[in-house]
């Protein structure tokens, strides 16, 4: 009875509850608006620690996106790939979902500070994803993206640290992530996201959906076979490269006239190996140090492509590159810096990588860039042969049997220089095989006439030059003879005077 008499009235309890709720909301608002993110995280961590003393028996591993801000952390990528398989089954409250215009399925990603729980060998583990931005005055969204810092936190009981986590669990994640990537590998095409001497090198990517492959590539069959055998030999010789003390890299130089299929060959190599492609424009860089950051930000099992290298920068000397595109000023890059990444000390950073240079003029490149160990295989992309034409006809017109016009086309192609791109353009003009092949015949005839006309013009110019040269030599002979005669007359005159 005494207890009931001293109980506060319902109105008093409600008033106290409302006052407490208002105070809490005010404190929460001030906490979120006036305290920096780092201070908030520190206070929450300390509060959680004192409320849950048992957490002191746990240990937390930090897995950052990059190693010392330069090389990509392989364990971060493996953790990201592995944990994506756990997202759908986890009790996550907030996830990021996206879908590209060409993607068949939705892509699920982690949201800020999302938690994922996992178990391994009777051990419970907790993952946490973090993203932090530097507090600066941003000039653009690209700058904002370049300063984001990502990392994972892995928490578990201390007793499992050495035996299970550092030995078994992390090794399992690496192997499992590799298997997942091979199963669902989507080749990516990367391009440089931002160019800043002091910024972190970032690459943007899209799905690489180029349909080229070695079955559809219009090139010599023997050369195609040699390239495939060379690629297979390269990817299976990890221990051999380690044994002989060489970086696990391979260099290819593709040279030849425009339209002969250099880009298509690169796409076929990427699709065959399932290697990501990094398209690098040297004219976008402005220092040796940034070049190293950009190259170190590429991943293993990738192809670094520098197309038309003779057009982007001057590589004929070991002095500073001169930008060919204009508007960028003088580039503070050196040939030695590029060579050092290909086969110097920096070449050991990363494994199973392919470097491809393309050029229309091989003779314009510095010989130091072309020697074995840098460009190991030189591939001449020549004009279209009749064998290449038959493959194109099969691809574009589904002609698998010998056609009546093939003999005429073969005879014309033996004496005419035409690129696969030009032939393909003619084959695309009609779906009717007879019309399309007739167009190829007429096109080859025009090319042959143009070539003969050009040859005749050159011959006429050469003949004209020969005539002019003959007249010049005759005139010189006349002048020399005249000079000798005048000289003899002068001598005779002086002799008479004596």
- The string of pLDDT tens digits covering residues 122-168 is 888 988 888 776 655 555 555 554 567 788 889 988 888 877 777 78
Residue 69 gets the label, from left (phi > 0), alpha (psi -120 to 50) or beta, of left
Mean pLDDT, residues 386-392 taken together: 88
244: how many CB neighbours lie within 10 A of its CB? 8
Q: What is the pLDDT of residue 197?
A: 43
Q: How far apart are the first and last CA of the chain?
A: 165
Q: What is the pLDDT of residue 399?
A: 83
- Whether the predicted pLDDT of 324 surpasses 50: no
Q: What is the pLDDT of residue 6?
A: 60
**Which percentage of the chain shows pLDDT scores above 70?**
68
DSSP notation for 446-475 = HHHHHHHHHHHHHHHHHHHHHHHHHHHHHH
User: What is the distance of C-alpha 24 from the center of its chain?
Assistant: 52
Q: What is the pLDDT of residue 496?
A: 58
Q: How many residues does the chain have?
A: 498
User: What is the distance of C-alpha 284 from the center of its chain?
Assistant: 14
Q: Is 150 helix (H, G, I), strand (E, B) or coil?
A: strand
Q: pTM for this one?
A: 0.60
Q: How many CA atoms lie within 13 A of 14 on its CB side?
A: 3
Mean pLDDT, residues 63-77 taken together: 80
**Which percentage of the chain shows pLDDT scores above 90?**
13
Element (H, E) at 357: strand 353-359
Closest to 425 in 3D by CA, of 450, 443, 413, 407: 443
SS3 content of the chain, % helix, strand, coil (to 5): 50, 20, 30
Please write the tens of the pLDDT for every residue from 209-218. Answer: 899 999 988 8
Q: What is the pLDDT of residue 85?
A: 79
Q: Where are the beta strands (DSSP E) in 181-258?
A: 188-192, 203-207, 249-255
Q: What is the pLDDT of residue 196?
A: 47
Unique residue bearing structure tokens 């003999």: 407
Q: Where are the beta strands (DSSP E) in 187-270?
A: 188-192, 203-207, 249-255
Q: Exposure of 309 by Cβ count < 10 A (0-12 exposed, 13-18 middle, 19+ buried)?
A: buried
Closest to 359 in 3D by CA, of 390, 381, 335, 336: 381
The sign of the torsion formed by the CA atoms of 449, 452, 458, 461 equals: negative
Note whether 342 and 355 are within 8 A (CB).
Answer: yes
Q: Residue 312: which pLDDT band, with cuts at 50, 70 and 90? A: low
Mean pLDDT, residues 292-321 taken together: 74
Note whether 92 and 118 are within 8 A (CB).
Answer: no
Closest to 292 in 3D by CA, of 143, 71, 67: 71
DSSP notation for 101-141 = TT-SS-EEEE-TT-EEEEEETTEEEEEEEEEEE-----SSH
């Amino acid at each position: 009875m005494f207890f009931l008499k001293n109980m506060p009235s319902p109105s008093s309890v409600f008033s106290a509850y409302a006052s407490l709720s208002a105070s809490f909301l005010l404190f929460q608002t001030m906490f979120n608006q006036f305290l920096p993110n780092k201070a908030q995280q520190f206070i929450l961590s300390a509060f959680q620690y004192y409320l849950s003393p048992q957490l002191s028996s746990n240990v937390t591993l930090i897995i950052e996106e990059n190693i010392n801000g330069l090389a990509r952390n392989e364990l971060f990528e493996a953790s990201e790939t592995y944990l994506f398989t756990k997202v759908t089954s986890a009790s996550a409250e907030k996830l990021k979902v996206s879908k590209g215009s060409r993607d068949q399925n939705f892509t699920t990603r982690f949201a800020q500070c999302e938690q994922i729980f996992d178990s391994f060998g009777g051990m419970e583990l907790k993952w946490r994803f973090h993203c932090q931005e530097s507090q600066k005055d941003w000039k653009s969204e690209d700058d904002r993206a370049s300063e984001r810092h990502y990392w994972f936190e892995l928490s578990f009981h201390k007793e499992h640290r050495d035996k299970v986590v550092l030995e078994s669990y992390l090794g399992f994640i690496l192997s499992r992530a590799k298997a997942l990537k091979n199963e669902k590998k989507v080749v990516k095409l990367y391009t440089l996201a931002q160019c800043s001497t002091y910024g972190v090198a970032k690459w943007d990517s899209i799905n690489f959906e180029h349909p080229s492959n070695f079955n559809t590539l219009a090139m010599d069959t023997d050369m195609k076979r040699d390239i495939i055998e060379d690629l297979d030999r390269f990817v299976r010789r990890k221990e051999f490269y380690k044994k002989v003390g060489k970086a696990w890299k391979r260099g290819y130089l593709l040279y030849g006239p425009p339209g002969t299929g250099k880009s298509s060959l690169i796409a076929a190599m990427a699709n065959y190996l399932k290697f990501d492609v990094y398209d690098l424009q040297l004219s976008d860089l402005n220092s040796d140090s940034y070049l190293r950051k950009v190259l170190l930000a590429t991943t293993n099992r990738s192809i670094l492509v520098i197309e038309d290298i003779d057009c982007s920068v001057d590589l004929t000397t070991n002095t500073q590159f001169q930008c060919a595109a204009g508007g960028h000023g003088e580039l503070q890059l050196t040939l030695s810096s590029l060579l050092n990444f290909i086969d110097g000390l920096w070449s050991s950073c990363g494994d199973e990588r392919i470097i491809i240079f393309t050029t229309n003029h091989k003779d314009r490149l510095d010989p130091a860039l072309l020697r074995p160990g840098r460009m190991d295989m030189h591939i001449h992309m020549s004009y279209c042969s009749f064998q290449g034409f038959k493959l194109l006809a099969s691809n574009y017109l589904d002609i698998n049997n010998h056609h009546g016009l093939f003999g005429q086309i073969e005879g014309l192609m033996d004496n005419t220089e035409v690129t696969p791109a030009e032939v393909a353009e003619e084959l695309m003009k009609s779906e009717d095989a007879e019309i399309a092949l007739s167009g190829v015949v007429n096109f080859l005839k025009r090319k042959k006439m143009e070539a003969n006309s050009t040859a005749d013009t050159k011959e006429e110019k050469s003949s004209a030059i020969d005539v002019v040269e003959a007249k010049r030599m005759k005139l010189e002979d006349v002048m020399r003879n005249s000079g000798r005669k005048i000289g003899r007359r002068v001598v005779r005159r002086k002799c008479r005077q004596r």
